[in-house]
Structure 1
Amino acid sequence: MKVYSSAFLVFCHAVVFFQMSMEWKYLFLAAALVALSGWFRFYSQPSTFIHHQQVRATPKISFYKLSLQWPPATCHGTLRCKPPIPSDFKIHDIWPQDRYDEPIPPYKKKNPCTRKRPTLRKDLRIKLHTVEAHLTSEWPNLTDGLNMTANYKFWGSEWEKHGTCSDYPDDPLTYFKSALKLRRGIKTIVRFGRQTSWTVNQVADEVFYVLKAYPQIACNLNPSRTQKQLWEIRLCYDRPNPGQTPHILINCTHILRVRKGKIIGPCKSLSDSIFFP
């Protein structure tokens, strides 16, 4: 029945077409061609259309965040460390951040953040041998800081997560040296003594007094989960011009750790009391 109905409709349209004047026939044909052309362009490449809908642009680097961890808190909270445990702030990493203070995602072949080919993790030993001693001193794997295999495992992990989408994806030596240079340029971070307690806001004010820029404060919990500890102080640096490394200290966007607009970690307020072990 449907076949007969379709045939009848085609016959009717044909009759109407032949009854038209020559001018109206030309207009009718032109309109039909335009419609068919649009239909063909839309449906002839469906995979391309879907692909463009799914791909997300990689966010641009806005600034860098140097994360300095306090080993007594790290080793008395989240990690089991072999002695000796350092008693000064050590580098955790330097992270490229976007304008919303979110970390730039790591490199992926399906949606690369750079046209350059990032250095592979397995090649870091060759690239970093000239600064290996400095990294061991200032950027150790606190679980076993004298174990070079453990150190390279730690550095490799941080490189893959943050270095491959930094401004130096094919130059790990510059990436790691940039953090070392910043750390060596800071003589004092806080002046208060150990075994004391302070509010988050007091710690942030102290860092501002010493370095003239507001940091981000990260807390963790002691093993019994009864006390909040000063775990990390993170410093923010403006994105440098091409050919340079981060060097201009700026205020961090958030004093407390924030992810997608929500405060994360044990410290939820600037008035929270934290212990400096």
Structure 2
Amino acid sequence: MEKASVTLTIKFLLLQYLFALSIAQDFDFFYFVQQWPGSYCDTKQSCCYPTTGKPAADFGIHGLWPNYNDGTYPSNCDPNNSYDESKISDLISRMQQDWATLACPSNSGSTFWSHEWDKHGTCSESNLDQHSYFKAALNLKSKFDLLQILQNEGINPDGGSYSLSSIKSAITNAIGYTSYIECNSDADGNNQLYQIYLCVDKSGSNLIKCPIFPNGQCASTIQFPSF
């Protein structure tokens, strides 16, 4: 009976592992999301700069999120594969620059990165291990300079208002694909440019046409606050 019990336990654990692996493999594309820090901070809630100091006035990475073509997404796919900063020690300086946290209270960013890996990264681990996941996001950030793309078309983070269509057109003309623009509200309730979503293939390296966009809509004219 003991042998039978051990065998059943092993089979159960194996099935759990295979189930977790199948979930991790089962996604269709990534959303690569970059956030404008001025809009994050210019709200009633405000923000806190990281312990490393005020981030650059540039779009920062929010995350690289596995998604399904129907608009749903997997999350927290492997609780046994927690964030381990020692695996990405060579990337930390780049992450502090390009993937900074603005959450309060001030912190180094580890809590933010841990959340992103545990919730989203573990669902991509069949394609990208932890180091590859964070490196892929950093490489995408370097490859697609959204601030420069917008500034090339005279769209600057100067607190002015710009048409949503001009922002979307500037990005589409530069990268060849339609992006999704997410807005939030400033302390006075004005619509402002908050996040930009690009769609990426399962390798985490190539832009693709977005199979679906998130819900939500911006006003026809939105502010681009300074930072």
TM-score range relative to shorter protein: 0.7 to 0.9
**How far 1:273 moved relative to its partner?**
1.8
| 1:1-277 matched pairs, under 5 angstroms | 58=23, 60-77=26-43, 79-82=46-49, 84-107=54-77, 118-121=80-83, 124-143=84-103, 147-148=107-108, 151-168=109-126, 171-187=129-145, 188-191=148-151, 192-194=155-157, 195-224=159-188, 226-240=189-203, 246-254=204-212, 257-258=214-215, 263=216, 267=217, 272-277=220-225
Q: Tell me the secondary structure at the aligned position of residue 165 of structure 1.
A: helix
**How far 1:128 moved relative to its partner?**
1.4
Alpha carbons 2:55, 2:100 under 8 Å: kept: no
Instruction: State how far apart, in whole Å, the 2-side matches of 1:73 and 1:193 are.
Output: 13
Instruction: State how far apart, in whole Å, the 1-side matches of 2:161 and 2:119 are.
Output: 33
Pair 1:79–1:156, CA change in 2 (3 A): farther
Pair 1:108–1:175, CA change in 2 (3 A): closer
The alignment covers a number of residue pairs equal to: 194
Pair 1:200–1:273, CA change in 2 (3 A): same
* Residue identity matched to 2:64: I
Root-mean-square deviation (Å): 2.6
Deviations 1:217-273 (A, max 9, x none): 11101023x201100111111223xxxxx2221232455x32xxxx3xxx35xx532
Pair 1:177–1:168, CA change in 2 (3 A): farther
Q: Which has the higher contact order (CA 8 A, sep 6+)?
A: 2
**How far 1:155 moved relative to its partner?**
0.4
**How far 1:65 moved relative to its partner?**
1.0
**How far 1:200 moved relative to its partner?**
2.6
Query: What is the percentage of aligned positions where both structures have the same residue?
Result: 26
Alpha carbons 1:198, 1:275 under 8 Å: kept: yes
Q: Tell me the secondary structure at the aligned position of residue 67 of structure 1.
A: strand
Q: Tell me the secondary structure at the aligned position of residue 150 of structure 2.
A: coil
Alpha carbons 2:55, 2:97 under 8 Å: kept: no
Unaligned regions of 5+ residues in structure 1, if any? Answer: 1-54, 110-117, 241-245
Instruction: State how far apart, in whole Å, the 1-side matches of 2:211 and 2:92 are.
Output: 32
Question: Runs (4+) of structure 1 moved beyond 3 Å?
Answer: 143-147, 167-170
* Residue identity matched to 1:143: A
**How far 1:204 moved relative to its partner?**
1.4
